[in-house]
Copies of this chain bind each other. A is one copy, B any other.
Amino acid sequence: MAKSESAIDLGLHLPFQIAQLHSALSAQAKVIIAQYGDLNLAQWRIVRVVALDIAHSSTAVRTAAGLDKGQFSKMLAVLEAKGYVVVHPCPEDKRQHVLELTDRARRAHDRLGPVLDARQQHLVATLTTEEQEVVRKAIKAIAAAATKTDFDITPPEPEDT
């Protein structure tokens, strides 16, 4: 088989390829988003999660957007300052907030949403439905497998030097 290469074929390197892919996607998103407003990627994600009614309370939005606690706090402050969201106290849990989008955010979402949907379609355009399904499943599986960190074929040996 063509696996004669040391280890660098195409098969190996999955994390590297994912990183490359992520980089490309991120750059693409950045350019697109920049054309339509003054929000960055993280901020847009927050807006989108709320606009699609995926979540409205702060923690739920944060996890859905996949953001760090600190970063979320900062981005949310920016969004509020720019007039994209209004923050209400949460009746059920006084520690949290409830996010409400302003008209400005809704307009931005109405303009940008379709473009991002088009992008999404463009991205998977070359894949069949079955392939998309496989990819989706694989992402999930690999993400789960990525939690293990103790491989330890050979335990670290500090006195090797």
Interface set of A (CB-CB < 8 Å, partner B): 5-8, 10-29, 31-32, 35-36, 45, 52-54, 66, 104, 107, 111, 113-115, 117-120, 122-127, 131-132, 134-139, 141-143, 145-149, 151-154, 156-157, 160-161
Looking at the complex, which one of B18, B19, B125, B160 makes contact with A107 (CB distance below 8 Å)?
B160
Looking at the complex, which one of B23, B27, B141, B153 makes contact with A126 (CB distance below 8 Å)?
B141
Contacts of A16 on B, CB cut-off 8 Å?
A: 45, 66
Contacts of A157 on B, CB cut-off 8 Å?
A: 111
Report how many copies the assembly holds: 2
Contacts of A45 on B, CB cut-off 8 Å?
A: 16
- The residue on B at minimum CB distance from A18 is B22
Contacts of A154 on B, CB cut-off 8 Å?
A: 111, 114-115
B136 touches A134 (CB 8 A): no
Looking at the complex, which one of B14, B31, B149 makes contact with A120 (CB distance below 8 Å)?
B14
- The residue on B at minimum CB distance from A49 is B8
A142 touches B119 (CB 8 A): no
CA gap between A134 and B15 in the complex, in Å: 16
- The residue on B at minimum CB distance from A6 is B52
> Smallest Cβ distance from A43 to chain B, in angstroms?
14
Can you name 11 extra interface pairs (CB under 8 A) apart from A35-B156, A36-B156, A135-B138?
Answer: A14-B124, A15-B28, A15-B120, A18-B25, A19-B22, A31-B149, A107-B161, A111-B154, A115-B152, A122-B145, A126-B141
